[in-house]
């Protein structure tokens, strides 16, 4: 699988919140994330998983771009598998994307995601 993700996320026509969750894996691996929406910093140096971070409302995200950079470091003595699960909720549908990479012991994988929001 790849460590780069480029997707479009379809919004609905409400003022409901769009939320982002990031799940760092595999088991016992650690990670740090940087998240921006256009030029706006959402989170910097966020350690570990992220649960339902509000990115904005459906009616004000059209054509904005969410960028995520997550570094997952192999800290498990049992395996060298890393992965990142990106989950978006609150738009037209809930969407989840999984990226994964096997690394050398003690090294890191850099995961990037670029998600463009679009409203019909």
Which residues constitute the domain of residue 73? 4-119
Q: How many domains would you assign to the chain? A: 1
Tokens of 23: 């799940």
Which residues, 6+ apart, have CB-to-CB distance to 119 below 8 Å? 10, 11, 12, 13, 58, 59, 61, 62
Please give the chain's pLDDT, 120 residues, in tens.
Answer: 568 999 999 999 999 999 999 999 988 899 999 999 999 999 999 999 999 999 999 999 999 999 999 999 999 888 999 999 999 999 999 999 999 999 999 999 999 999 999 998
Instruction: For 27-62, write each residue's pLDDT tens digit.
Output: 889 999 999 999 999 999 999 999 999 999 999 999
CATH number of the domain bearing residue 9: 2.60.60
């Amino acid at each position: 699988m790849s460590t780069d993700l480029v997707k479009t996320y379809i919004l609905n026509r409400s003022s409901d919140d769009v939320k982002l969750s990031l799940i760092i894996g595999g088991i016992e691996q650690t990670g740090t994330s940087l998240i921006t929406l256009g030029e706006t910093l959402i989170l910097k140096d966020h350690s570990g998983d992220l649960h339902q971070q509000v990115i904005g409302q459906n009616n004000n995200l059209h054509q904005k771009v969410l960028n995520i950079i997550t570094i997952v470091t192999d800290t498990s003595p049992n395996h060298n598998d890393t992965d990142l699960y990106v989950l978006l909720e609150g738009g037209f549908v809930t969407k989840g994307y999984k990226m994964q990479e096997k690394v050398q012991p003690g090294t890191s994988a850099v995961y990037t995601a670029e998600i463009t929001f679009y409203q019909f």
